[in-house]
Amino acid sequence: MRYFAMLLSLLAIATVTAACGDYANSVTSDISVPQANGPNPQNLPNANTVPKPTPPGGYTVSPTPVVIQEVLVDPTGANAGNQFVELFNSSNYTVDVGGWMLTDGNSSHTFGYGFNIAPGDCVVIHLGASGTDSSTDQFSPSFAELQSTGSMALLRSGVDLVDFVEWGAGQQNYEGSADQIGEWTAGDFLQTAAEGLSYNYDGTANNSTAWTPKNSTPGQ
């Protein structure tokens, strides 16, 4: 009787073992090991084929698409009292210049909150003159008269220099900052324009070679 009970126990253990083996085998057969797919086993996107956004248009030599495009100095000539600085948005998107500052280091003009320059448009800042501000014309009556030697800087948020030009001689206000970020070369300057002519920028470089004296064309 004892041997018979032991035999039944052995048969029960064998049955359970066989069942567990079948379960284990069924689980093993359901597991699929990830297969390598060439050099990219995780099928990550190829950086060379992922679509990239089209960069906006603009003057690639400047850190901002809004640049100083024209400056009329002429303190004693036919345009005395009509001095201006023209900014140009060379991109194909609207740029908010609210809080930006235009300064020669002595006087300044700060754009009001939310002031925008449309794509391909200009805004003329009339220095030392009064008038009604609009999207194309801004008036800065407290801006002192520009002299035959000087400079003009455009500061984003009134702090970060983004564009610069100087005329008559080097070492003018903000030259060091402009040289540091590659917006101008220290010691470089525009030769004094003839009476009645303004300085015009063509966007090809960050130095005097990109500027030419021409008849003034504010807003064009």
**Residue 219: what pLDDT?**
87
Percentage of the chain lying above the pLDDT 90 cut: 63
User: Per residue in 168-195, pLDDT tens?
Assistant: 999 999 999 999 999 999 999 999 999 8
User: Per residue in 144-171, pLDDT tens?
Assistant: 999 999 999 999 988 999 999 999 999 9
Q: What is the side-by-side order of every strand in the sheet holding 108-110?
A: 108-110, 101-103, 150-156, 160-167
pTM above 0.75, yes or no: no
Q: Dihedral sign, CA of 95, 100, 105, 106?
A: positive
Answer whether residue 47 shows pLDDT above 80. Answer: no
**Residue 51: what pLDDT?**
54
**Residue 14: what pLDDT?**
47
Label residue 17 by pLDDT band (50, 70, 90): very low
| CA distance linking residue 82 with residue 219, whole number of Å | 14
| CA distance linking residue 51 with residue 25, whole number of Å | 46
